[in-house]
Amino acid sequence: MLALTKENSLIQGPPGTGKTTIGIRIAELLLHNKHAWRGHKQVPMLLVSYTNHALDQFLQLLLNTPVMANCLTEDVVRVGSRSEIEDLEKFTLKSHRKKYRTHFCQIGANYAQLKSTERNIVELKEYVNCYKACLVHEITFRNMEIIPSWMYKQLAEGPDSERHRPWNETSLYIWLKIRSLLNRKDLSSPRIQSTRSDYVQEKDIVNEDLERELDDDEDELGAIIMPQDNLAERPFVAIDDGILREDPFYRDIKQNQISALMESIKQELSVKDRMTKEETEKIINIWHLTTVDRWRLYRYWIYEATFPLHQQLHQHEREYDNASRRYREVRNLLDCKIMKDACIIAMTTTAASRYTRTLKVVAPTVVIIEEAAQVSE
């Protein structure tokens, strides 16, 4: 009687004393007299359980009561992870969404835009980090028209005394005097360690809530794929860890030296000093440059190659923010409609925290929480 006459009530007792049964009976009685509490807005009842298993058990017991005998599928909405009970699948929020074809197609289009933009962002970050983690082949810079033809020809021909070449025909190993980097004594210095911060970090593109929502929709919407954008040319690697280990050209480098050599290369790549465009225009023969200026020129090529990549990256990140906002707006509007039309909303505490804004709009009049001691305020 207390649960039916007071705004808040707590039912306590040791395990096996029938607390769940009492909860079912209270819900059954309220549903039998729903005209008294639903009002003209027909607000739903909210059932909350701590775990998916407990939620399924509570919901299944309630559905087996006489008052639910004529229950329609749309009267019950189960929110959260996939139900372990097959009979409850038809009540899941995902199943209800499919009935609203117009809204669902719009969600699908926004989902496809999100995933496409996400792929573009990941790919662009891989490109940028490639320039910072290894030596990119000179042919990449030539194809991007960063290296003029005469300069590329000089680099490709190499010094007169050099005839033996790596598999990929790069001249960078000789031109940048990579072998000499092994003589460095500062490979463990903080300067090298700081190069990690120069990489484009693989930070989370989406927040945790949005990521869960995307995962929830993946089964239904994953087949909707938008065409991939035409991004920049993928960098052709000249020298990295794998090439140094596999190409016989580098056999004079000991296996235990390769990691140190790559760290030294990354250190050079992280140096901010680079040539200006005006300086590059004064070069007559790149083989006559000092080692310092050769690296400065190479870093100029990197800057010219990565600058448009960073611009594209920022553009795609803005597009992703806009697409995620549209996706969530359409999805939340549909979810609100589905829940408002229901008589019972069932969800776990985790789902309740994710759908806080939606629940505020739906505004259920009655809330029944099972295992309330496990639920934080």
- For the chain, give every domain's residue range: 121-321
What are the Cα distances from residue 195, in Å, to 134, 294, 318, 354, 360?
12, 20, 27, 38, 47
Query: Does residue 220 register a pLDDT over 70?
Result: no
Q: pLDDT confidence of 166, banded at 50, 70, 90?
A: confident
**pTM for the predicted model, two decimal places:** 0.70
Mean pLDDT of the chain: 84
Taking residues 88-105, report their average pLDDT: 84
Burial class of residue 224 in the structure, from the number of CB atoms within 10 Å of its CB (0-12 exposed, 13-18 middle, 19+ buried): middle
When pLDDT is cut at 50, 70 and 90, the band that residue 198 belongs to is: very low
Instruction: Determine the average pLDDT of the residues in 141-151.
Output: 96
Which residues are CB-contacts of 282 (< 8 A; sequence separation ≥ 6)? none
**What is the SS3 string spanning 3-24?**
HHHCCCCCCCCCCCCCHHHHHH
Closest CA to 201 of 117, 124, 115: 124
**Residue 294: closest CA among 159, 165, 193:** 159
pLDDT band, very low/low/confident/very high, at 113 (cuts 50, 70, 90): confident
Collapse the DSSP code of 92 into the 3-class scheme (helix H, G, I; strand E, B; otherwise coil) and give the result.
strand
Q: Select the highest-mean-pLDDT range: 93-97, 99-103, 117-121, 271-275.
A: 271-275
Quote the pLDDT of residue 107: 80
As a whole number of Å, the CA-based R_g of the chain is 32
Lowest mean pLDDT among 189-198, 300-309, 316-325: 189-198
**Mean per-residue pLDDT for 40-68?**
90
Q: How far apart are CA 179 and CA 205, in angstroms?
A: 39
Q: Is the pLDDT of residue 190 over 50?
A: no
Residues 148 and 294: their CA atoms lie apart, in Å, by 15
Q: Give how far Cα 233 sits from Cα of 132, 141, 145, 299, Å.
A: 16, 10, 12, 18
Beta bridge pairs of residue 45: 344, 366
For 56, the 3-state DSSP assignment is helix
